[in-house]
Amino acid sequence: MKTKVFISVLAVMLAAAFASPLSAGRKHPSELKYPDLKVNVPGVLDISFANGMEGFMIEDHEIPMVNVVILFKTYFPAREKYGLNEVAQWTMRNGGSGKWPADKLNDELEFLPANVEIFGGDLSTMVFVNCLKKDLVEVLGIMADLVTDPAFPEDKVTKKKEDMIEEIRRRNDQPRDIMNREFSGLVYGDHPYGWETSEASVSAITREDLELFHASYFCPDNALIGISGDVTKPEMEKLLGDAFAGWEKAEVSIPEVPKLGDTPPATYNYYYKDISQAYMAIGHLGINSNNPDRCAVEIMNFILGGGSFTSWITTEVREKKGLAYSAGSRYSSDAFAAGTFMAFAQTSAGEYSRAMQIIVDQIAKMKTEGPTAEELKKAVDSYLNSQVFEYDSKAGMVQRLLNLRFEGRPLDTPETDMKKYAALTVDDIKAAAAKYLQLDKLTILVVGDKAQFDRQLSEFGPVNEIEPGK
Amino acid sequence: MLRKGEKLFLLVLVVSLALVSLRQVAFAQTLEEKVNEFELKNGMKFLVVERHEAPVAFFAIVFNVGSANEWPNVTGISHLLEHMMFKGTEMMGTKNYKKEIAYIGKTDELGARTIALRSEMGEWRFEAFKDFGRTVLAGFTDAEKEEIGADKFKQNRLLVEKIRAMKPLPAELTSKKQLVEQDGKNFLEMYLEYETAWGEIVRLTDEQRTNYIVNNELWETYMNNGSRMLNAGTSNDFTVYFVYLPANRMELWMTMESDRMDSPVFREFWSERDVVMEERRLSENDPDDVLDEAFNSVAFTACPYKWPVLGWMSDLRTTDRNELVEYHRTHYSPNNATAVVVGDVDLVAVKKMAKKYFESIPAQESLPALETREPAQQGERRLVIEHDASPKLMIGYHKPIHPDPEAIVFDVITDVLSGGRTSRLYKSIYEEKKLTAEPPAVYTGPGERYDNLLVISAEPRHPHTLEEVEAAIYEEIDRLKSEPIAARELQRILNQLESRMIQTLGSNLGIAFTVLTGEIFRGDWHAMFRQYDMVKEVSTEDIMNVSSKYLVPKNRTVAHRVQVKKEGTAEESAAGDEIDQQVLRAYIMSLPQEEMMAIVQKFQSMRSEAEAMEYANELWEQAKAAGFVKDKAE
């Protein structure tokens, strides 16, 4: 071993002696000058139909394919039937329609081939079509049939419910899933954003519930449509008009998402899992997308823990201390209520308290010191310079517009955001940190095996032990 | 570097591998013609595709090295190197490289010393001392803990001080024979030196950071310039570094990538090695990774796919920085690298810049080809993994690799079994028999370049068992051997290949992945353009023959992951009362002989204690229902 050490020292000395100063004519990147970028923003067309359906379209003739997305606004089911939307969305697609029973439907779509998928969350359901242009008439017909006349066959409904119950059985397998789920439950409390499916809630769902779900939301005046691909607007007006002929408007009333209360008081929470690491989540409720300080909060979080390796939390926990493979923070906004702020790390159980302290210290530092002007500039540059990627995918552009319309936000949000990022000052970030990082209301959750912890969570405060769910 | 991106990238590669192909349609022709290939004098290859839809371009460099190129003692080094490649160069990440280098020398010396000390102590002693150290740490006063905070140097210094002050040594240490001393050697002293050295490494690295290191400058520079998808990934077969940039930043990419190919500096090695060990621990807590790792280590005898990309923990903690420097020199040579550039770039400009930045990097002697081959399997292999997670099944069959024409037949078999909602396993296992809550997955793994496996994995839906799912999968496998598949099934696969290829052409990433896939896995990007014709040649007899030849018990490895909770957890103690063996035995003896025999046989056929316990619990409940168990309250 001695010899090896000696050689290693020698090798380093030799390397230093022969180190060629900035060899091969490379200049430090800060000295590079870049040519101007020419950005041709693809033209977006508005498209609307007599039955009330409306949306956006981008013609794109590079390849002979077409993408169509239709978004329907939906709403939470009763809590005792939570999971209903997922069962409905799945069965609309996988149960087929009167004209297209499941087996025939799958066989036809996969032979063409074409994709028709239906999925979503609580507040929206998306119908997604992707096919070769030559098959467009047929595929739009199939899609329209599924949307207007789903069969909801009993055996498929049962199948989906059983599968979801199995998923519930399996949901404590991965520590990361436990952390995300329990954290969300802790900060959202009884608000629907914190709801989870249970065996009882899934079992309570009936075929009639699905029919009611369909009847309540699936009508043209509740549909937002997005189109991109190898097709023209007049073609699409005709094709979709024909596909949905006879589809009538209907009264749709969608309730407002309930308001959230104040962020809950600070707590320490522990969830037992037999693992050699501790998974920790630290945070509180986030903000609404319409919050005028949203851009400042985004940049603030980018510097704190969102900007991966350049962010404070990652630098301190991972880079400097080598405590974790993954450490950082997310600060999300939500258009209807509020998102969440969550700092996280997965560390060796025997060192978790060091990581936890570092994270809390970084949050505090953002409030007391804030970033330097240089840190701010770098963060803002990274947002501004990546703006061109907004135009890389036409389907992506259409989807963004659709989401903004769905959320009731200005369609030029990406553009105005860029101006806001560019105008941010260090004081703006400090003000955002002061207002939107609530050090005295941190919900702290640790998933792991306390027998392996370096310090017990109870040393920091009273601990709420979460009963591991079955 | 980021797990998520890495997995995504590999997934896309695998998906495109299975699906990408071309018919002689105009589109295919255009792409094949659009790929421009050139080679620098040092052997570095470039593949460039111009696509001017948006002012962005995707850049990747692939090194022809992955965990399959490793050997015992250094498993995981390819992946560790990938991490270290982000630590900067002589130009990037430092305020003054020439002064900084003294720190690297000192920490290397200390690091090598920790490896030597641990080896001399032996693992059993080291573990015993470490456990003892933990109890000492736990006994620190609040004030001491406050003072230490997150500072490992201070923590270790106090730890060593406290242990040194213990006179006499506690019985915990002295009662174990030969723990503290043997043959005149004081092993406790070694342990204290070990902890001191670690504290010193941390202190020196912190000082190095404060004085010289520009933290993550390479990463940050890409980010500030608007990069997307900045990442790297290591697989069994290759290591790739990629970034999506505004197209006018090409020179930035050329500068930084040539710089780190030429003169990387593996600073902060010892703390980054901790990060990688933490990544490995993350995977030890991931039930799917745990299963995967054990499965591969049993399925392969000789092929280096038998060890995980992350490497074994014991190899990681004995790898030092010099080994990495040598591994980089030999494996990251320009003649072992291929660059791919796709997007809004000009071929002439790419060529010119590539020459300027990369051509002066010296070529290295070419690496010997990996000649180890997997010997034919001589019988079924079965394994059981116990973990606190729901049950899962994996079945793997050894299979030929491309360009063997039988490998193409396997691509078709994969699709017949699991390519979509009309595929056989989807329909029979998931939809009709409802044995699983997700359709079973079928794929090729763990790599593509050396002898590999066709893998089928599935998770039974309660109350269905692993055995039921396994048997149902074999039924479908046997059908492949006995019934010719329908012409429509084959045509469907061809139609899908064609459509996916067209889809691929509509994005820079799609094109880049296609070209890379051919280059990495087939050794020639042109291969991707021949696949459609090769699949078209596959006949129903080919499928029956290949299935009969390879999909047989003798050639397979089967893994069951069974759920086992740690003893004495809250859940278990709440779950049920203890089984009284006497009573249970009395109950079983009371049953009719056939039933009794069935129970005995079932126990004998079991492969794990967990399985047996589960069944015993079931019988205990029956015994209770039959009135054999008296209520404790009585």
What is the separation of C-alpha B66 from the centre of its chain, rounded to a whole number of angstroms?
11
Judged against a pLDDT cut of 50, whether residue A407 lies above it is answered with yes
Percent of chain B whose pLDDT exceeds 90: 74
Find the range with the poorest average confidence among A87-96, B5-14, B554-563: B5-14
Q: Which residue has the higher pLDDT, B230 or B604?
A: B230
The pLDDT, as a whole number, for residue A427 is 97
Q: Is the dihedral of CA A279, A284, A289, A291 positive or negative?
A: negative
The pLDDT, as a whole number, for residue A441 is 96
Long-range interactions of B209-213: CB distance < 8 A, separation 24+:
B209/A320, B209/B268, B211/B95, B211/B99, B211/B100, B212/B94, B212/B95, B212/B96, B212/B97, B212/B99, B212/B100, B212/B103, B213/B88, B213/B93, B213/B94, B213/B95, B213/B100, B213/B267, B213/B268
Find the range with the poorest average confidence among A384-398, B16-30, B281-295, B308-322: B16-30
Task: Give the β-pairing of B56-63 and B45-50.
Answer: unpaired
Q: pLDDT per residue over B452-488, tens digit each?
A: 999 999 999 999 999 999 999 999 999 999 999 999 9
CB contacts of B505 in chain A (<8 Å) are 62-63
Distance CA A73, CA A122 (A): 9
Residue A202 neighbours by CB under 8 Å, 6+ apart: A82, A83, A87, A161, A164, A165, A168
Whether residues B263 and A170 touch (CB distance < 8 A) is answered with no
Q: pLDDT per residue over B606-619, tens digit each?
A: 656 566 677 777 77
Judged against a pLDDT cut of 80, whether residue B535 lies above it is answered with yes
Task: Grade residue B523 by pLDDT with cuts at 50, 70 and 90.
Answer: confident
Q: What is the mean pLDDT of residues A132-159?
A: 97
Q: pLDDT per residue over A288-307, tens digit each?
A: 999 999 999 999 999 999 98
Distance CA A441, CA A268 (A): 11
Residue with structure tokens 């797990």? B3
Coil vs helix vs strand at A54:
strand
Q: What is the mean pLDDT of residues B206-235?
A: 94
Coil vs helix vs strand at A215:
helix
| In chain B, residues 140-179 whose CB comes closer than 8 Å to chain A | 142, 145, 149-150, 152
The pLDDT, as a whole number, for residue A470 is 39
Which of B97, B209, B251 has its CB closest to that of A19?
B97
Q: pLDDT per residue over A106-131, tens digit each?
A: 999 999 999 999 999 999 999 999 99
Distance CA B539, CA B409 (A): 9
Distance CA A68, CA A393 (A): 14
Judged against a pLDDT cut of 70, whether residue A243 lies above it is answered with yes
Which of A16, A34, A272 has its CB closest to that of B98?
A16
How distant is the Cα of B462 from the closest Cα of chain A, in angstroms? 7
Interface probe with A: pick from B220, B256, B327, B436, most Cβ of A within 10 Å: B220
Torsional class of A31: left (φ above 0), alpha (ψ -120 to 50), beta (otherwise): alpha
Judged against a pLDDT cut of 90, whether residue B107 lies above it is answered with yes
CB B20 within 8 A of CB B504: yes
Peptide bond preceding B403 in cis form (omega within 30 of 0): yes
Percent of chain B whose pLDDT exceeds 70: 89
Judged against a pLDDT cut of 60, whether residue A8 lies above it is answered with no
CA angle B511, B517, B523 (to 5 degrees): 125
Phi first, then psi, for residue A388 (nearest 5°) are: -60, -25
Distance CA B94, CA B117 (A): 31
Distance CA A338, CA A257 (A): 10
Burial class (CB within 10 angstroms; exposed 0-12, middle 13-18, buried 19+) of B289: middle
Question: Considering chain B, what is the average pLDDT of its residues?
Answer: 89
Q: pLDDT per residue over B381-425, tens digit each?
A: 999 999 999 999 999 999 999 989 999 999 999 999 999 999 999
Chain A touched by B415 (CB under 8 Å): no
Distance CA B592, CA B611 (A): 24
Whether residues B263 and A23 touch (CB distance < 8 A) is answered with yes
Judged against a pLDDT cut of 80, whether residue A14 lies above it is answered with no
Q: Which residue has the higher pLDDT, B617 or B17?
A: B617
How many CA atoms lie within 13 Å of A89's alpha carbon, on the beta-carbon side?
22
CA-to-CA separations, B249 to A37, A338, B56, B220, in angstroms, rounded: 9, 37, 9, 14
CA angle A74, A241, A254 (to 5 degrees): 15
Q: Which residue has the higher pLDDT, B523 or B312?
A: B312
Q: Is the dihedral of CA A225, A230, A236, A240 positive or negative?
A: negative
Q: pLDDT per residue over A63-73, tens digit each?
A: 999 999 999 99
CA-to-CA separations, B262 to A397, B86, B236, in angstroms, rounded: 39, 13, 24
Coil vs helix vs strand at B484:
coil
| In chain B, residues 519-538 whose CB comes closer than 8 Å to chain A | none
Which of A1, A323, A357 has its CB closest to that of B149?
A357
Distance CA B275, CA A141 (A): 53
Distance CA A368, CA B583 (A): 67
Residue A50 neighbours by CB under 8 Å, 6+ apart: A241
Print burial letters for A127-165: b (CB count within 10 Å at least 16), e (below 16).
Answer: bbbbbbbebbeebbbbbbbbbbebbbbeebbebbbbbbb
Q: What is the mean pLDDT of residues A429-448?
A: 97
The pLDDT, as a whole number, for residue A469 is 63
Distance CA A293, CA A436 (A): 9
CA-based nearest residue to A172, from A189, A188, A196, A191: A196
Task: Grade residue A23 by pLDDT with cuts at 50, 70 and 90.
Answer: low
Task: Grade residue B26 by pLDDT with cuts at 50, 70 and 90.
Answer: low
CB A288 within 8 A of CB A334: yes
The pLDDT, as a whole number, for residue A4 is 40
What pTM, to 2 d.p., does this model score? 0.88
How is residue B138 written in tokens? 């736990």
